[in-house]
Amino acid sequence: MTIRRHRATLPAARVWLWLLLCLVWIAPALADDAPAFAIEEAGLTLDDEAYWLDARMHLKFSGEAEAALDNGVPLTIELRLEVLQPRWWWWDAEVAEFSNRYRIRYHALSRRFVLTDMNSGESRSFSRLDPLLQALSEVKGLMVMPESALSPGETYQARLRVRLDTDALPQPLQAVAYMSPQWRLQSDWYTWQVEP
């Protein structure tokens, strides 16, 4: 009695090819859900003897950060602007710096998310996290420095970054945040030229 064995390589290859195509198709959708901070655009405007910052950001928390927020842990977001004067013979000179911090807190009793501008003390309340992050991602008319900080006729480089401040977390959570990539939420520096 002879037993014939069928070669299973062709169906197995088709399955692997199908899985690979599915992965390629699904990967962009998965990437959209990945936690990320990014500066999409930014600029400075001179008006009323001061420079005002306008910026648009992308802010997406990780699952761990959202879970901590839902459990009453406040999260602090820092928006940092630096203005540098390029020098060919030495390191760039830092002419001005500005930092604005925002605290996000969830109140379980009211089921509301509260966004507080820690520089001005102004607070706003939201029913969901997504609208809060959308409001935070649009910075309009934030006064960052006086006109006298920059000299006319000079060329400067401004750079802006947004990050989750892990140093502001409660002490027991800081050790976890330093080890986990889910807590390393920080944009790259967004740079542009400023000519007063």
Q: Is the residue at 13 inside a domain?
A: no
**For all residues of the chain together, what is the average pLDDT?**
87
Q: Residue type for 187, please?
A: S
> Is 141 in a helix, a strand, or coil?
strand
Please report, for residues 32, 38, 152, the alpha-carbon distance to residue 112 in angstroms, rounded to integers and kept in the order given: 25, 25, 46
pLDDT of 160 > 50? The answer is yes
pLDDT of 24 > 50? The answer is no
Residue percentage of the chain with pLDDT more than 70:
82
Contact 52, 130 (CB under 8 A): no
User: Rounded to two decimals, what is the model's pTM?
Assistant: 0.79
Q: Is the residue at 131 inside a domain?
A: yes
pLDDT of 16 > 80? The answer is no
Q: Is the residue at 187 inside a domain?
A: yes
Q: Is the residue at 16 inside a domain?
A: no
Over residues 109-137, the mean pLDDT reads 96
Which of the four pLDDT bands, split at 50, 70 and 90, describes residue 32?
A: very low
In the chain, the number of structural domains is 1
Q: Is the residue at 121 inside a domain?
A: yes
Query: What is the Cα–Cα distance from 143 to 58, expressed in whole angstroms?
Result: 21
Over residues 168-194, the mean pLDDT reads 93
Which has the closest alpha carbon to 136: 122, 149, 155? 122
Q: Is the residue at 29 inside a domain?
A: no
Contact 85, 92 (CB under 8 A): yes
What is the per-residue pLDDT for 196?
86
Over residues 166-185, the mean pLDDT reads 92
What is the per-residue pLDDT for 23?
44
Q: Is the residue at 27 inside a domain?
A: no
What is the per-residue pLDDT for 89?
82
Residue percentage of the chain with pLDDT more than 90:
73
Domain residues for the domain of 142 are 35-194
Question: What tokens appear for 55 in the block?
Answer: 């910026």
Q: Is the residue at 45 inside a domain?
A: yes
For 121, list phi and psi in degrees, rounded to 5. 85, -5
Over residues 172-195, the mean pLDDT reads 93
